[in-house]
Amino acid sequence: MLIRISLILAIVAALAVGALNFFVVKDKITALTTDRNTNRDGWHATSAQLAQTNAVLVKTQSTLKQTQQDLADTQSERDKAVADAAAQSKRADQLSGMLAKTTQERDDAQNELAAYKLSGLTAGQVAKLSRSLKDMQEAMEALNEEKTVLMHTRDRLQARLDQLLGNSPDIVLRADLKGKILVVDPKWDFVVLNIGDDQGVKENSELLVSRDGKLVAKVIVRSLERDRSIANVIPGWKLGEVIEGDEVSPAHPAS
C-alpha cells in the first residue's frame, strides 16, 4: 500500500514538473517569437528607408548634374556674348575711322574740284574728278549704313550681356519713337508691333500701350526684326484689353 502511494506521489510530482516546464518553455518561445517579429519589422522599415534615401540621392545627383550643365551653358553663352560685343565695338570703331578718312578725302576732292574748275581744266578732267567724288560719297554712305547696323547689333548684344550678367537696367529708347499694334494674341498675351530694329527698338525694352490717350498696358519686347517686333504683355500692367491699332511709345524715353 505504501509503495502504491509513493508511486502515485511520484507520478503526480512528475506531472507537476512537466507542466511547469511546459509553461516556462512556452513563455520563452513567445518571447523569442516577439523578438523575431520586432527585428523583422525593423529590418523591413530600415530597408524601405534606405531605398527611399537612395532614390532621393539619385534624384539629387541628377538635379546637381543638370544645374552644373545649365551653369556651364550660361557661362558659355555669356562668354560668347562678351566676345561678340567686343568684336562689334571694334568693328564700329574701325568704321568710324574709315568714315572720318573717307569724309576727309571727299572734302579734299571737293576742294580740288573747285580749284581745278577755277584753274581752267578740261571737261574730261572735271568729269573724272566728279566721278571720283561720287564714288567716295557712295562709299561713305555705305560705311554709314554698315556702322548703323553694327551699332544696333552691338546694342542688342550689350542688352543680352546685361541680362546674362543679371544687370538689366531700364532700356532707354528715343522719345519720338511711335508705333502701332498689328496683331494681338489674347490667349498667350503677346502682340506684334509695326516697329523694329530699323526704328530703334531694342530687345527687352518696355513700351506703353495706349488708346485715345489712356494707358491700356505695358509690354516688353522679346523678339526683334528689322521693321517688326514681338512683345509680351507684362503681368500686372494689363489695365484693359489690348486691341489691334493701339499705339505704343517708350516706357523709358530718352530725356
Distance CA 175, CA 211 (A): 18
Domain boundary among 137, 167, 197: 167
Tens digit of pLDDT for each residue in 58-103?
777 777 788 778 777 777 877 787 787 778 778 878 888 888 888 8
Distance CA 22, CA 1 (A): 32
Query: Within a domain: residue 116?
Result: yes
Shared domain for 210 and 155, answered yes or no, is no
Continuous H helices in the chain = 2-119, 123-164
Tens digit of pLDDT for each residue in 123-171?
666 677 777 778 778 877 877 777 766 766 666 666 666 655 555 567 8
Q: Comparing 232 with 2, which gets the higher pLDDT?
A: 232
Tens digit of pLDDT for each residue in 12-66?
666 655 555 555 556 666 767 777 777 777 677 777 777 787 777 777 777 778 8
Contact 248, 195 (CB under 8 A): yes
Domain boundary among 119, 142, 167: 167
Shared domain for 232 and 144, answered yes or no, is no
Shared domain for 56 and 28, answered yes or no, is yes
Query: Within a domain: residue 173?
Result: no
Shared domain for 2 and 97, answered yes or no, is yes
Q: Which pTM was predicted?
A: 0.41
Pairing, β 190-193 against β 179-185: antiparallel
Domain of residue 191 covers: 179-250
Shared domain for 237 and 111, answered yes or no, is no
Instruction: Report which DSSP code applies to 170.
Output: P
Domain count, the chain: 2
Helices 123-164 and 2-119: crossing angle in degrees, nearest 10, is 160
Shared domain for 122 and 3, answered yes or no, is yes
Strand partners, 233: 219
Q: Is the pLDDT of residue 7 over 70?
A: no
Query: Within a domain: residue 174?
Result: no
Neighbour count for residue 173 (Cβ, 10 Å): 22
CATH code at 231?
2.40.10
CA atoms within 13 A on the CB side of 154: 14
Tens digit of pLDDT for each residue in 203-255?
889 999 999 999 999 999 988 898 999 999 998 899 999 999 999 999 999 87
Question: Where does residue 204 rank: exposed (0-12), middle (13-18), buried (19+ CB within 10 A)?
Answer: middle
Shared domain for 203 and 103, answered yes or no, is no
Domain boundary among 105, 136, 167: 167
Distance CA 51, CA 98 (A): 70
